[in-house]
Structure 1
């Protein structure tokens, strides 16, 4: 197809190639090496702490990175952050800049989860890790100087799908009551039957073939079958009532666009307060070009939305 990319993104489109998810260990190693060559993030104004939280029975220690606005002693709202990577790649470090920005400008403690990755650890391993950290965060709110009544979940891409699943689990298990869910470009539906999934087969970095590989790693042969649970693919959920208010973003040239919009519409239908924004001219990995105007607008909206949701 011919794509009318935003001017700030058009030149960079040819530089991404496609993330190779066929051999996850090799791709992870490549990305880690590339990340090591970049300057360390600017942590000015934020206290950053790495530790381990109690996890599920089959993974008793889950790495977490905590970002807290420096010099604060009051209980602050918290954001549980879940990184992206198609359930297959990614790690805590990839979201450093986003988490630092949220801590600084949204005035929140951010707890970012180093969950287990597929295919070595398929569903439900990563989700169980994320939910266990949510339970730990809520239970240790006093110790962490967090307001347990103001906890949001935030995720990008596959992390957005996991964030939606965490919200569903918290509701259905009677777990911690979330104040908000921020679903950014979420990967939600293993069936891959939308128009955007059919069209965007060659978009930069992330496209329809990669989505298929991603779901196969996460769900194995069950991907696309009738018995996939809603906690694996929240886009399948029929009952979205009593979920926390949400903000859902999508990008015009993203295979995940239509499932994100459909999920927002289903939240509307269930009576859940929700805002949604489809950013035109952008592809899935546009967020990796932080100087693009569309990326700057998206980052500003994130802070505005989270500040409003968590501080009123």
Structure 2
């Protein structure tokens, strides 16, 4: 099937790994094993302070979480509540942090990242309910975490982006924490896989249609692709996207999630909401982790940082930061 070309730098990395051509759909157990092989990111070069904590999860579970802040952080300030990627079946609270830790230095935000429970051992609704319970816990304990509860932003990469969107929907519908924004990086939003981009990249790239079906099947079982799926699990299914906090959404033009991301942004606008959308030409899934020093990767990082800076400088956010 005809499809958009990969960016030259991205394509070179994919070609070296044999991922620029047809990739067989993985068996579920192989996908899970690969995504649970550990966190390969080296986070030692970031000038941050980390402390490990325990947060509340769904039905009274205790979840391991970490708080990152700048060494000079004092008092309370903006907070990022982060949900990691891993296709709903893998990853840890450290996965993907290289995309987000630079925001701490730029904006003096504190970052809370949590190990929610994973499918298939803990299928839907465990991951998103864990995420929501931990968000509520974070808001209640914000002062102890160095966070102003009025400036709390939910964030995630890949499946974590989908969970972040689902968590924002739960917060809206349950009258939960009043989120300042949602930062959704190449989010996993739709279990149905019916878009043009899903067909174009069914067997090519870092995350293929085959990978996607395996991840959603692990989360949803036989309900995947049917009408019996909650919008909190698959936010693209939400009938109403009004009343949500401002969103930042970015995605590659050469990946499975392109069209569902563009549609999600368009529906936020149609329902009267605020969304900044970037489609990076030639990017595969999580492409900037492959070529972090490329000019386009620096532009993507700058776009996220710019959005966050504008968000925390809005009058409502500034008012929240001023003691009564």
Q: Distance in 2 between matches of 1:42 and 1:20?
A: 34
Paired residue for 1:92? 93
Aligned-pair distance for 1:122?
A: 0.9
2:85 counterpart SS class: coil
2:90 counterpart SS class: coil
Matched, 1:251 2:280: no
Aligned-pair distance for 1:130?
A: 1.0
1:199-278 counterparts in 2 under 5 A? Answer: 199-278=200-279
2:113 counterpart SS class: strand
Q: Distance in 1 between matches of 2:288 and 2:277?
A: 17
Q: Distance in 2 between matches of 1:237 and 1:285?
A: 24
Q: Which blocks of at least 5 consecutive residues in structure 2 are unaligned?
A: 315-324
The TM-score with structure 1 as length reference comes to 0.93
CA distance 1:40–1:298, shift in 2 (3 Å): closer
Q: Distance in 1 between matches of 2:114 and 2:160?
A: 10
Aligned-pair distance for 1:99?
A: 3.4
Paired residue for 1:106? 107
Q: Distance in 2 between matches of 1:281 and 1:94?
A: 23
The TM-score with structure 2 as length reference comes to 0.89
Aligned-pair distance for 1:2?
A: 6.0
Given that residues 55 and 137 in structure 2 are in contact (C-alpha distance below 8 angstroms), is that contact kept between their aligned partners in structure 1? yes
Worse-superposed segment, 165-174 or 120-129: 120-129
Given that residues 26 and 214 in structure 2 are in contact (C-alpha distance below 8 angstroms), is that contact kept between their aligned partners in structure 1? no
Q: Which blocks of at least 5 consecutive residues in structure 1 are unaligned?
A: none
CA RMSD of aligned residues (A): 1.8
Count, aligned residues: 306
Paired residue for 2:322? none
Write out per-residue CA displacement over residues 273-292 of structure 1, whole angstroms, 9 at most, x where no aligned residue.
11111110111131222122
CA distance 1:299–1:21, shift in 2 (3 Å): farther
CA distance 1:95–1:285, shift in 2 (3 Å): closer
Q: Distance in 2 between matches of 1:53 and 1:172?
A: 22
Q: Distance in 2 between matches of 1:136 and 1:311?
A: 25
Q: Distance in 1 between matches of 2:95 and 2:203?
A: 24
Q: Distance in 1 between matches of 2:247 and 2:4?
A: 29
Paired residue for 1:309? 311
1:48-127 counterparts in 2 under 5 A? Answer: 48-57=50-59, 60-127=61-128
Segments of 4+ moved more than 6 angstroms = none
Paired residue for 1:4? 5
Q: Distance in 2 between matches of 1:288 and 1:302?
A: 15
Write out per-residue CA displacement over residues 93-148 of structure 1, whole angstroms, 9 at most, x where no aligned residue.
22332332121112211111111111111111111111111101110112222111
2:67 counterpart SS class: strand
Paired residue for 1:26? 33
Question: Which residue, out of 41, 46, 61, partners 1:43?
Answer: 46
Paired residue for 1:298? 300
CA distance 1:285–1:184, shift in 2 (3 Å): closer
Q: Distance in 2 between matches of 1:231 and 1:39?
A: 32
Given that residues 9 and 292 in structure 1 are in contact (C-alpha distance below 8 angstroms), is that contact kept between their aligned partners in structure 2? no
Aligned-pair distance for 1:79?
A: 0.6
